[in-house]
Amino acid sequence: MLPLESLKAKYMEKESLTSSLGPDKLHRLLRICSEADSSGEQLSSDQKKAELLQDFLSESLPVESPKSNLSERLTTLCKISGIASEESVRDLLTYPKTDVRLLRMIRDNYKKKSKCADPEVEQVATTIYYAAIAYALVVHNMKITKFSLKDLQNAFSLLVNMEWIPPVLSSLFGKAREYCQNNSEV
């Protein structure tokens, strides 16, 4: 076993890996490494949002208590439309016959969820909120929000380019953005 003195001397003999770099090059190298760490954090945040979005899309809409007259009507409406109340939000947002009432339920449910303090949950819930609005515009030619078409166009323009949003929703946002452009209010 080497004494502490000889270990210290042995490591001191080795030349530092950065000794050939001047201060400017060292600063640039450290900045590049720092940026790489930041982008790694961004990727993990995007990945977290993508996973959370998949979780939210796989949920079914919460059904109100059976005592509620509205719940009975919606259950009947789902059966008439051929949509089981157990359908996932993803299915409801891609099924061509999803009723506007169900879209409003999705919108309202995810509007409530978007009030969460966690920024990722807020962003993902807001995305589904806008997906319900986009679906109503594109499929039913109906606006289910007080936002202007110009405001919606801006929101859809942002959402269509988010990397963590799956292609089916990106496509929906693209169609909704085009709808808003073609039908802009005067």
Q: pLDDT tens track of the chain, all 186 residues?
A: 445 555 445 545 555 555 555 666 555 656 665 565 555 555 578 899 999 999 999 998 875 544 455 566 666 666 555 555 578 999 999 888 888 999 999 999 999 999 987 889 999 999 999 999 999 999 999 999 999 999 999 999 999 999 999 999 999 999 999 999 999 754
Q: What is the pLDDT of residue 117?
A: 78
- Among 91, 29, 84, 83, smallest CA distance to 58 is for 91
CA 105 to chain centre: 19
30: how many CB neighbours lie within 10 A of its CB? 11
Q: What is the pLDDT of residue 125?
A: 94
91: how many CB neighbours lie within 10 A of its CB? 15
Q: What is the pLDDT of residue 65?
A: 41
**What are the backbone angles phi and psi of residue 159, rounded to the nearest 5°?**
-70, -35
Please check whether residue 133 is in contact with residue 100, taking contact to mean a CB–CB distance below 8 angstroms: no
Note the residue count of the chain.
186
